[in-house]
Amino acid sequence: MKILVTGASGFIGGFLCPVLEKAGHSLVLVVRSIPKLQSGNRKYVAVGDIGSLTDWVTLLQGVDAVIHLAARVHVMSETADDPVSEFRAVNVCGTERLARQAAEVGVKRLVYVSSIKVNGAATLGVSFRADDVAQPLDAYGVSKFEAEQKLVKISAETGLEIVIVRPPLVYGPGVGGNFIRLLKLIDWGLPLPFGGVDNHRSLINVDNLCDFLNVCVSHSNAAGQVFLVSDGHDVSTRDLILGLAREMRKSVWLLPVPIDMLIIVGKLFGKQAEVDRLCGSLQLDIGKTRRMLGWEPRFSLVDGLQKTVSWYVSQNCRGANT
């Protein structure tokens, strides 16, 4: 198959492209701008900021399927005056434009990497399911859900097969955000106030996500479906820290600070959202994914943590020697 991948040089794209190539697919690698460091002999095509005016027609010629990774992602410190409009410009209008032009030139399938944020921000004893009523709570989640709705409409009008994938936090070598901050805190040996946190969170190793996307691009049962995907093993923040520390061969001091106190401190310092993520639960039920596609996570949580820590240590050592 010939597959167009947007966001091809990003965190997920960097792992996905080799998986697709190994499976025998030829790729059209689309990026916002040409990366300074390029891997292998890959040739990227820069299209700038994706939006309602992006012209995809030439790039889509002869393409069988699209995997759409590119997006304006959720950021911890939003600076835009109107973040909803900023998210919609890329995530909604940009996605709609790509899908409509894909349908026009005869592309068969579009796999859209959405977000579990479409389901909501937290679970309370009942895991999110693929067919739950959407309850996005922030601008990013809203934009992802609106993009999904546009894709469903385009599919009904044109016959373009749509596959929607909603992952939770994706981790692995090159990860950023809260995950890399957690690695640094463990590395620095600082006391961490999460000894009393007994939450349950679903994560997905980037290798598992890429394996799943490779399945979605051609599996006959995937068309027209929404899938949740994870490592299949939920973990508490406390146990995640202990697992990372074990792989780093570091001692970690977990203080049993009451969660109510953490929430109060988070509010005082404007970090409530981060505290909520570290202390709250977010669980995914991937039963539908397993039943319909026969897919199982190939890599365990331990596999993923080992690989991520190895990358972190190598980066840290390299930085120390330069």
| Predicted pLDDT of residue 319 | 44
Q: Average pLDDT of 10-30?
A: 95
50 closest CA partner among 94, 110, 109, 106: 94
Residues 270, 266: Cα–Cα separation, whole Å: 6
Residues 83, 89: Cα–Cα separation, whole Å: 10
Strands (E), the chain: 2-6, 26-31, 44-46, 65-68, 109-113, 161-166, 169-171, 203-205, 225-228
What is the identity of the amino acid at 75? Answer: V
| Predicted pLDDT of residue 40 | 61
| Residue 322, pLDDT above cutoff 60 | no
| Fold of the domain built from segment(s) 2-172+203-231+285-298 | Rossmann fold (3.40.50)
| Region for residue 287 given its phi and psi (left: phi exceeds 0; alpha: psi -120 to 50; beta: otherwise) | alpha
| Predicted pLDDT of residue 36 | 73
Residues 315, 65: Cα–Cα separation, whole Å: 35
| Predicted pLDDT of residue 43 | 85
Please, what is the end-to-end C-alpha distance for the chain in angstroms?
A: 43
Residues 279, 200: Cα–Cα separation, whole Å: 9
Q: Average pLDDT of 210-227?
A: 97
Do residues 173 and 307 lie in contact, with contact meaning Cβ atoms separated by under 8 Å? yes
Task: Output 41-50 pairs: Cβ under 8 A, ≥24 positions apart.
Answer: 42/8, 42/17, 44/8, 44/9, 49/90, 50/6, 50/90, 50/94, 50/95, 50/97, 50/98
User: What is the rounded average pLDDT for all residues in the chain?
Assistant: 91
Number of H helices, E strands in the chain: 11, 9
* Cβ count near 316 (within 10 Å): 14
| Predicted pLDDT of residue 151 | 98
Active site residue 312: no
Do residues 32 and 46 lie in contact, with contact meaning Cβ atoms separated by under 8 Å? yes
| Residue 157, pLDDT above cutoff 90 | yes
Do residues 59 and 107 lie in contact, with contact meaning Cβ atoms separated by under 8 Å? no
| Residue 128, pLDDT above cutoff 90 | yes
Residues 260, 248: Cα–Cα separation, whole Å: 30
Q: Alpha helices, DSSP H only, in 109-191?
A: 139-158, 177-188
**For 231-272, what is each residue's pLDDT tens digit?**
999 999 999 999 999 999 999 999 998 888 888 888 888 787
Q: What is the pTM of this model?
A: 0.92
| Predicted pLDDT of residue 320 | 44
Residue ranges per structural domain of the chain: 2-172+203-231+285-298
The residue count for the chain: 322
Give residues with Cβ within 8 angstroms of 133, minimum separation 6: none
| Predicted pLDDT of residue 267 | 85
What is the 3-state composition of the chain as percent helix, strand, coil, each rounded to the nearest 5? 45, 15, 45
Q: How large a percentage of the chain has pLDDT more than 90?
A: 76
Phi, psi of 282, deg, nearest 5: -150, 100
87 closest CA partner among 50, 119, 34: 50
| Predicted pLDDT of residue 144 | 96
Check 44, 112, 140, 171 and give the catalytic one: 140
**For 55-100, what is each residue's pLDDT tens digit?**
999 999 999 999 999 998 865 445 556 677 889 999 999 999 999 9
| Predicted pLDDT of residue 1 | 94
